[in-house]
Amino acid sequence: MPFVYHRTIRFADTDAAGVVFFPNYLTICHEAYEESLAEAGIELKTFFRKHDVVVPVSKSQAEYLRPLTCGDRISVTLTPALVGTDGYAIDYQVHHLGRPDKLAARLHTEHVCVSSVSRERGALPSDLLAWLKRHAA
């Protein structure tokens, strides 16, 4: 089942055009990713910093469909999928909540699992596999 994250657009997300600065959609989706990991019992303090296995983003894609402005309520729907044995991809849909909700952006990130010591690719640890299983389509 996809993970759903709710968020309000903040003044700091915006730029002088009055709308969310396009790189910040990736930042907002990463927040949803962090929240989904925390909910699965993964310790964020070490996951992104000192883990023996790290899972950096290798690729990202985004389609910006509608502008978002300060105060807008949004949802981010996150759906991960296993890629091989040592990576995963995440699809994100950002909706502007309203009557009706409207799709504002679609994003996609790819991640590879790497040993932080040897820098070689390695299998996903069991806690990430459990997180994947929980939220895969």
Q: How far is the CB of 7 from a second copy (least distance, A)?
A: 11
Q: Is 86 in the site for a second copy (CB under 8 A)?
A: no
d(CA 68, CA 50): 35
Who's near 5: CB < 8 A, 6+ residues apart?
31, 32, 35, 36, 75, 76, 78
Q: Is 135 in the site for a second copy (CB under 8 A)?
A: no
Structure tokens at 108: 């996609």
Burial of 89 (C-beta count, 10 Å sphere; 0-12/13-18/19+): middle
User: Residues with catalytic annotation?
Assistant: 15
Q: Is 124 in the site for a second copy (CB under 8 A)?
A: no
Q: Is 17 in the site for a second copy (CB under 8 A)?
A: yes
Tell me the CA end-to-end span of the chain in Å, nearest whole number. 6
Q: What binding mask, one character per residue, do residues 24-63 give for a second copy by CB under 8 A, x or -?
A: x-xx--xx--xx--x----xxx--xx----x-xxxxxxxx
Q: Could you list the residues that contact a second copy (CB under 8 A)? A: 8, 10-12, 14-19, 21-24, 26-27, 30-31, 34-35, 38, 43-45, 48-49, 54, 56-64, 67, 69-72
